[in-house]
Chain A
Amino acid sequence: MSLDMLQTKTLLSVRDLTVTLTTEGCDVLRGVSFDLAPRQILSVIGESGSGKTVLARALASWLSEPLEITGGEILFEGRNLVEDPAFARHLGGREIAYVGGNPAGALDPTMTVGAQLVEKLRAVRPEISTQEARRKAIRLLEAVKIPAAERRFHEYPFQYSGGMMQRAMIVDALMSDPALLIADNITQPLDVTVAAQILKLMRDLNKDFSTAILFICSSLPVACDAADEVMVLHGGRVVERQVPSGLIASPEHAYTRTLIEELPTLWTGTRESAPPPSRDQQAIMSVRGVAKHYETRGASGKAQVQAVRNVEFDVFPGDNFGIVGESGCGKSSLMRLLTGLERPDAGTIFFEDENIGQASPKRLRALRRRFQLVLQDPYGSLPPQSPIGAIIEEPLKIHGLGNRAERRDRARAAMSEVGLNVASYDSLPTGLSAGQRQRLNVARAMVLEPRLLIMDETLSALDQTEQGKMLNLFERLQAQHGFTYIFISHDLTMVRQVCSRIAVMYLGETVEVAPNERLFFDPGHPYTRALLSAAPTLEKRRYLPEECLLEGEPPSPIDLPPGCAFAGRCPHAFDRCLSETPRLQTRNAQALAACHLIDGGVAQ
């Protein structure tokens, strides 16, 4: 057989595959057909409920009750896996490898990662010696860029970060040199910079190990980035399949068209974001040199976690202020400080004229009338047993405002303002959708007529369409009540759409504070550029990941090295970065960044 023939032969051929949810009698996949050539990367994209995960599991022979294949064929190298479940199971972990979206729980917590990699290879290829398996594992760990692979081989899963664990799971899948790798939502739980690294890694591996990849995901930009071709799944059917450029340029199916249209953009045609308010007025919230550390017990006794350091910014009345950063950057700790749930170890947080960090508990309670927190999780933050009206009235009761009738009126007014049906005043929140729950949270926060609303990942749990509606609502409320917002988020696209000014956090510090346009088009800090380069988008990239993003993950906030915290991942790092910690400095009137490059980079 010539090489040519090998390449044109199909590896996987799915014909009319139908999977039924037997308890309901409804089909989750309806007649799905597609071919996958060896070495090809095919993205499968679809919203939740489109059947993409079911497809992944069907191919990995991992369907469990009550899901069942009720029709069609899965031909792997010509053999029908549906008719030969024993052969299908035999392929699992050998020729067909699967990597899921939850790396955290994927390995036995009581065994070292290395031992489990060896165990897996020896399970499917007993003829390979332990020594050899070990060498292979370490080689692959190096190939997926796990630093100090020899040492990491002997570490336990809980000592790995999420991104490293996902790399380890990819190694696990590749141990047996599979012909097909099913990657089911593997970048979902990861931060953008880490996800971008994993995507790049996957493409490299595809080249080096000639593995065909079925890449399943729910984000169109990621899917287009990752694959040779993109297949769109909608309602259990394949509605379209094209190369990425073709799909973006001329989507054929209506669903794909709406998907592309609704996708928020970073660089072009964004919503008209409000210009930053005038800075002549007094800041509504002013944060200076705030720091907070926690004690933990580490490997060698007590250790300090520097959760928040050197945070500085001002928020002006009418502002939409954004705070962005990846997980572990200290956003949540900062939120707790801003709302007075915890007190800073150093620095001041002025809300209007009062220092929240030092206000008495009684004073703080009074102040809370004027700044309110809207929480992230729409399911955890509502008491399930109280009716909607009572939930909204509760803050009024706590602050002793109005009599019963007045409270009722205000609650109803708030409900209609956020777009909740006033008739549901007496019903329980259990029947509400995620979006409605978020509206209820907003209503509860705004009945007190606060001046400042702090939104902690408020929109993260909502889908694109619902997010858009909520943003419109926020805008309307702002126009009517003159609210000032602080949005705490990991989502650059969301921040790009609504915020007038944005602070970027890295390892507990504000490394850059700038107006929206300026931050996106002329970032002053290399980390901001890395973040922007990694953000998934269909547009032409302004910043190339290859130039802006180095390997690696943020160092642990315990025992921080001296100098710039980003130095280890910064493409521009030079000597001074390792010895001297950069402070926020002005780049011009409105933009600040903490990087030595700004003042020319020379030692002082």
Chain B
Amino acid sequence: MNYSIILGIAKTHLISRLKQSAIAALGVTFGIGTFITLVSFMTGLNGLLDGLILNRTPHVHLYNEIKISEKQPIDFIAQPEKELSVIRSIRPKFNQLRIHNALPILEYLNKDKRVKGAIPQITVQVFYKAGSVNLNGILNGIKPLEEDRLFSLGDYIIKGEAQLLKNTPSGIIIGAGIADKLKLDMGDRVYLTAPNGGLFQLKIVGLYQSGLAEIDDIQSFVNVKMAQRIVGQSDNYITDINIKLYDLEESVPMAKQLSQQFNISARDIKAANAQFETGTSIRNIITYAVSVTLLIVAGFGIYNILNMLIYEKMNDIAILKATGFSGKDVQQIFISQAMIIGVLGGILGLGVGFFLSVLISHTPFETDALPTIKTFPVNFNPAYYVIGILFALVATFLAGYLPSRRARDLDPVEIIRGQ
């Protein structure tokens, strides 16, 4: 009962100053709308940029690194406590690139609960032959469908598809840069020279474009079996194992564990892309800073309007107090006005933000780096809309609180005397 009277008075006050109230509400609308648009667009871009690298990068990458032996032959006979051994010109020991016992390791990994998938890869140095020209290149032997599932290979295939490679044992998905240089296209044949000199003829079933020229100019994909044939090895020849985890945070301990357990080099995604999280968090900070600034400006608008309103409504305040409304009632009247402005402005702001986000998400955006993206990425996360409206409510409450306290403490006698 009491509150409906208070709300009624608040509403009448706002309607009687419709223009100023609308301007104050539009201030909030502007702040919230900009926040929603900015945050949706920024996080959309963040997601895209993160995905650009994070999706493609294994969470843990197992491989054999060429490095010097930790324990040199002399260490087996010397006693380091007593003697000092000096060795000059250490050379790395000849390591095989292949991972020892790769198949059992793969089996072991795929049973691990933390692992979303572990897949083999075979890296082979080749030459692409075109007439008398030999182009340097790298061939990756992969399991096409698994590669697509775990590392979004399909997003970078601009012609053809991963399934086609799986169905074609002698197929190849070739880097767009190479195809361009060799004037090759889908269905054409390409000749490769293997490290041991063998010549292979493969059929192009797809074009790959990562957007990074130095990759697109050398890299191609074939089936695991084909790669093993090209290096002339049996089907337990595997040079790399790529692991995707359910939880990215596990990658560091996991890499450490695997490296010790299998005596192998293991690189986690954090070591591979250390600079990445910094960029993301800086973009987030900018987004929130801009939005908070806009809301503070909107808050000052509300603060001003309310102060003005209270000044204009001195008589009303005196009458209300003289006829039995308490200071708290009067305070609630003005707080309600701030909140009505905040809620209406905020909801409208969410609408404006959503509308702009939709508009942006339909704006064409084409770039070589992202062959499958045709429009700007926008993140329509409902959480931002909840944050936005909470933002609006808190800002308007704070902006309304001080003026409303002034109204609460106004002495009706002073106002009546002032006449």
A and B are interacting partners: no
Interface residues of B, Cβ cutoff 8 Å to A: none
